Amino acid sequence: MADVIKPGDAKEVEDAVRWALGNQKVLEVAGQGSKRAIGRPSQTDITLDLTALSGVMLYEPAELVLSAKAGTPLSEIEALLDQNNQQLEFEPMDYGPLFGREAGQGTLGGVIAANLSGPRRIKAGAARDHFLGVSAVTGRGEIIKSGGRVVKNVTGYDLCKLLAGSWGTLAAMTEITVKVLPKAETVATVIVGGLDDARAAQAMAAAMGSACEVSGAAHLPDHVASCFDSLPNSEATTALRLEGFGSSVKHRTEALIALMKPFGQVALLDEKNSRALWRDVREVKPFAAESARTRPLWRISTAPGKGYEIAAAITPAAQMFYDWAGGLLWAAMPFADEPDAASVRGAVRSLGGHSTLVRAPAAVRAAVDVFEPEQAALAALSKRVKEGFDPKGVLNPGRMWAGV
Amino acid sequence: MSLKMPEVDSAVLARRDRIVAALRTIVSGEGVIATEREMKPFESDGLTAYRQPPMVVVLPETTEQVAQVLHYCHDEGIKVVPRGAGTSLSGGALPLADGVLLGMAKFNRIREIDFESRVAVVEPGVTNLAVSNAVADAGFYYAPDPSSQIACTIGGNVAENSGGVHCLKYGMTTNNVLGCEIVLMTGEMIRIGGKHLDAGGYDLLGLINGSEGLLGVITEITVRILKKPETARAMLIGFPTSEDAGACVSAIIAAGIIPGGMEMMDKPAIHAVEEFVHAGYPLDVEALLIVEVDGPLAEANDLIERIEIIAAKCNALSCRASTSEQQRLLFWAGRKAAFPAAGRISPDYYCVDPTIPRGKLPFVLKRIREMSEKYGLRCANVFHAGDGNLHPLILYDANRPGELEKTEEFGAEIMKLCVEVGGVLTGEHGAGVEKRDLMPLMFSEIDLAAQQRVKCAFDAKGLLNPGKLFPTLHRCAELGRLHISGGKLPFPDIPRF
């Protein structure tokens, strides 16, 4: 059973890392541990639990900015923003249910470290795009800061971007500043029924290529459509979300319905069903059900026009659906111990993009690259970047790749 | 030039003829420029106060040539300064006397436009505006629009993480770039990202954006293109004080409205621009807001009504909304011509671009006015009000002895003030050589060392654009040393479970 250190402030995080350096110990950097099962399984001596670093330090709605300690629960931040009719516009997805945990867990630090985003990624960007400033303790046991509290800043290298999505392998973040934005006044969803994957990709491209400002575009093939309670039936559904001021959503809904008519049967989901549908898409609901949880799960990011081609190269026994206008493919493989990495990675190599084996038994994740393997020169560069921040490999070593 | 640049390597200079000959074997004909007269246009960028002829100029045409030039320079220990269109306002492309100036202007092709995935794949020497123009027929555009967009290149935009007037809603360059091909100083070629969202692995793309040409030479870029909004309308709103204008900006955002653009100008700027462009700006106001709303016509009209009500509550003296595309462009023409307009009323001008928390605006403007009196130099203010990015234009005459120095002091004092109130040194122009020595205002030695280790991961010999961004140069070996203190548990008070 691994020990846990629970520092109460940044200085104690620094002390903990220095202690690890001095004693050849390896730390598991964690918040609430809601994404602990993602990544390569690796041996660590002690868990650096950052949940005691909690609390919003600054929130100025008129300045669209919020700073909080890294271990602050995401739910607390979202509730606070909601009171002011604001939100994290990147709509962070929730990995919890995919691993049989309750929804709504996780910390702000975890959101950033995993660079989470949701269906609105196509319009609003990911966590990285809203991450303005950071304080962190590097694997050298030093407190560093980067960025600031303003949205427009090019002073120095953008280390925030580097830390976003680094899964705690470079530094343990202690304070985080993010951009926040107003919530949309209303939401509606135009759905098109009965399209095959290729045709759905065309429909989504047409919608995204219109002036309708689509803020979510998903295709839910018939084998997963029944998992979404908010849909009127269980046939394949292509869903397009519109958000904004009422007058504008009404106008754009009419325009989008006209644009989608040639593709198939068009219907409209009201605000309530829209919110339910996009929450289910964000939480990858079809593969969070208990019966689906033994299936290895791939998350594949590719060009929106290539998603269905990658899907076609994967075994037909896999269950899949598309977010990000076809550019994000969730693929659940049929057998627990067979992620079929060769066909997934082969398709990604030839069609472009990257794939992550989000869920699989530890033994499988130890044997198969969880994150997309990088070309040799790029892999060497990534390793040098890691060594700059964490030369002794005391922070989550090996979680992304062996030796990094 | 008072600026301290890296020590000139006399051994390199002594080999100049051989180096030029070697470079000619890689890039033939007019691609290598070595005469003093022909190198003249390259001796400075948009920060004209500093000039330095390079050792030699090389204008490669292919990635392979870039790789060979860098590989050769790496082996020979020769410094390299990359350059796009040379519109940098911070001296990012200032040459080095013993360095190769690597001009990327010949990388000027658009390689692919993919409407299905809504991306354009372009070479770095393509101008910002050319990307928008290339996709305009299909109703698309490239969102970041720095005021120099006619001339500045996409490669330079990535290197500086350029902004523009539409950043608040559409993001900066870094939010609109999906992939790039870069050549490291060793000559190794690397591809990061592509047409997909969020490159896998470490977000090195996020590092390249805004790296000021110190990490690698960009040879190809994939950018997102967006469908143009159905309509855009701009409003001119005049205020009796900058406090009122600032309050109006906050009230608009508090109402849940994120305008496509929101710019502010103070009285000296309004007058300078109006005399130059005749955009119809009100002259009897202390502060002018340009607010642009975009989207479907119904939305734009609705938002204009909402903003008119907010403006009236904030003591607006006048409020006009554009009624035609021509008029909208005229409203913007004034703002976009602010720099040349300043050039018209003063022999020289100097601009800094700190960003501040918006709420501090009235205080900072008041302090700038006081500084203006103290230094005896006029200052016109234009700024991106939505995101708090200031552009004070200090008017001076370089021919008057000591006036440039006084101007730089004035600029530095503004930047110091902005950092003190919670802002940052530069919002979009970059540190370059100009703000290099002010970096310690924002960053500790430890912060800067962490950034320099990133530089070391990309360029261990420190040959790519040295002398920019960092106030002091450290050897990578020295930066890499780890001093471990402790060995005993130094934190007995930390709860352990």
Q: What is the pLDDT of residue B491?
A: 52
Quickly state the pLDDT bin for A42 (edges 50, 70, 90). confident
> What is the C-alpha to C-alpha distance for residues B96 and B8, in angstroms, rounded to an integer?
8
Residue B487 has pLDDT above 60, yes or no: no
Length of chain B, please? 497
DSSP characters over B427-455: SSS--TTTTGGGGGGT--HHHHHHHHHHH
CA distance B3 to B27: 32
Q: How many Å is the maximal CA-CA distance in chain B?
A: 73
**Chain A environment of B171 (Cβ under 8 Å):** 125, 129
Q: Is the pLDDT of residue B496 over 50?
A: no
| pLDDT attached to residue B199 | 81
Segment B306-340, tens digit of pLDDT: 999 999 999 999 999 999 999 999 999 998 888 88
- pLDDT tens-digit series, residues A321-334: 999 999 999 999 99
Find the closest chain B residue to A245 by CA distance: B299
What per-residue confidence (pLDDT) applies to B166?
87
pLDDT for A356-387, tens place per residue? 999 999 999 999 999 999 999 999 999 999 99
* Per-residue model confidence as pLDDT tens digits over A205-225: 999 999 999 999 999 999 999
B116 vs A6, A8, A304: nearest CB: A304
Asked if A242 and A252 touch (Cβ cutoff 8 Å), the reply is yes
- pLDDT for B168: 87
Q: Residue B31: pLDDT above 80?
A: yes
Residue of B117, B167, B359 lying closest to A305 (CB–CB): B117
Looking at the predicted structure, is the pLDDT value of residue A1 above 50?
A: no
Mean pLDDT of B430-435: 95
Residue B187 has pLDDT above 60, yes or no: yes
* Residue B485: per-residue pLDDT: 64
Percent of chain A at pLDDT exceeding 70: 100
B488 pLDDT above the threshold of 60: no
pLDDT at B2 over 80: no
What percent of chain B has pLDDT above 90? 86
Checking if the pLDDT of B133 tops 50, the result is yes
Question: Is pLDDT at B296 greater than 70 in this prediction?
Answer: yes
Helices (H), B44-127: 63-76
Nearest CA to B319 among B330, B331, B329?
Answer: B331
pLDDT-based confidence at B492, cuts 50/70/90? very low
Residue in A137, A120, A116 with CA at minimum distance from that of residue A128: A116
Task: Write out chain A residues lying below 8 Å of B422, CB-based.
Answer: 148-150
Q: Cα–Cα–Cα angle for B51, B57, B62, nearest 5°?
A: 135
> What pLDDT shows up at residue A144?
98
Element (H, E) at A78: helix A74-83
Interface of A with B in 77-106 (CB under 8 A): 85
In the predicted structure, residue B164 carries a pLDDT above the cut 90: no
Cβ contacts of B489 on chain A, cutoff 8 Å: 19, 23
From chain A, pick out residues whose CB is under 8 angstroms from the CB of B188: 377
Q: Touching check for A384 and chain B: CB below 8 Å?
A: yes
Please check whether residue B91 is in contact with residue B45, taking contact to mean a CB–CB distance below 8 angstroms: yes
A81 — pLDDT class (breaks 50, 70, 90): very high
Whether the predicted pLDDT of B277 surpasses 50: yes
**Cβ–Cβ < 8 Å for B123, B103:** no
Pairing state between β B189-193 and A86-87:
unpaired
CA dihedral in degrees (B79, B81, B82, B86; nearest 10)? -170
User: Buried b vs exposed e over A202-236: b needs ≥16 C-beta within 10 Å?
Assistant: bbbbbbbbbbbbbbbbbbbbeebbebbebbeeebb
